[in-house]
Amino acid sequence: MRFKMILLAALSGLTAIGALLQSQNPEPLTPALIAAAEKIIGLQFNEAKRDSMLGDLNENLENYQKIRSVPLPNSVPPVLAFNPVPVGMTFDTQRRPPVWSTPAKLAAPTNIEDLAYASVGELAELLRTRKVTSMQLTQMYLSRLKKYGPKLECVITITEELALKQAQRADAEIAAGNYRGPLHGIPYGAKDLLAVKGYKTTWGSVPFKDQVIDEDATVIKKLEAAGAVLV
């Protein structure tokens, strides 16, 4: 998104775009105008990238027009601070450890698939009491991802090798009495905007379909520290 904003700023410097921005109903931006702007900012994008950013650029252009349509006299000072708290409302700022509620006593199902739609709280209690293992849950969810993923088109990358390794570690830690908390051993999926070392991070965009970022996103690190299992 950052390079799109930079590019739009460069576009606004072009004479043709300047005229568009001043008009009441500006013409939509085109790949040709993006290509012209690239020369100003010293960047070069291929046709696929221009097409992928075109929608956002035109949306930004439309939003700028809406902003400019709001009457704002010079006497109105700029907003230097924003405080969403209503006047007179106060909050308790003392930090306290979280108190996790636990479900009623749960029994392990005969068929592990019966847990496919169980809540995190229910799965956590079953894992904590060792009525199911993280490996059982992980293998079940991996199987479902492989079965339904192609039909639902909701999965880009399955991290099977990593998942099995994390599940095995979680089971060993829980068995040894080293329970990390309610996410320990819980399989989860991450949005394809979050980098995971050794796996593709495509950002849901064709130009980045083979992109691999050689580091873990902060949220991935935190979930791993909590013992969660990325499938």
pLDDT in tens, 55-66: 999 999 899 888
Q: Identify whether the C-beta of residue 40 lies closer than 8 Å to the C-beta of residue 13.
A: yes
Residue 98 falls within a domain, yes or no?
no
Q: Identify whether the C-beta of residue 186 lies closer than 8 Å to the C-beta of residue 124.
A: yes
pLDDT at 14: 46
pTM for this structure? 0.64
Residue 150 falls within a domain, yes or no?
yes
On whether both 225 and 132 belong to a single domain, the answer is: yes
Residue 147 falls within a domain, yes or no?
yes
Q: Is the pLDDT of residue 198 over 90?
A: yes
On whether both 59 and 116 belong to a single domain, the answer is: no
Tally of domains within the chain? 2
Q: Is the pLDDT of residue 6 over 60?
A: no
Q: Identify whether the C-beta of residue 160 lies closer than 8 Å to the C-beta of residue 231.
A: yes
Domain carrying residue 30:
2-67
Q: Which of residues 97 and 14 earns the better pLDDT score?
A: 97
On whether both 128 and 26 belong to a single domain, the answer is: no
pLDDT tens digit string along 77-127? 887 888 888 888 988 888 888 887 777 778 888 899 999 999 999 999 999
pLDDT at 205: 87
| Spatial distance between the Cα atoms of 144 and 137, rounded to a whole number of angstroms | 11
Burial label, 170 (beta-carbon count in 10 A; 0-12, 13-18, 19+): buried
Q: Is the pLDDT of residue 4 over 60?
A: no
Smallest Cα–Cα separation from 226: which of 134, 157, 142, 107? 134
On whether both 142 and 60 belong to a single domain, the answer is: no
What band does 15 get if pLDDT is binned at 50, 70 and 90?
Answer: very low
On whether both 135 and 224 belong to a single domain, the answer is: yes
Smallest Cα–Cα separation from 65: which of 106, 105, 28? 28
Q: Is the pLDDT of residue 13 over 70?
A: no
On whether both 118 and 225 belong to a single domain, the answer is: yes
Residue 183 falls within a domain, yes or no?
yes
Strand partners, 212: 200
Share of the chain above pLDDT 70, in %: 89
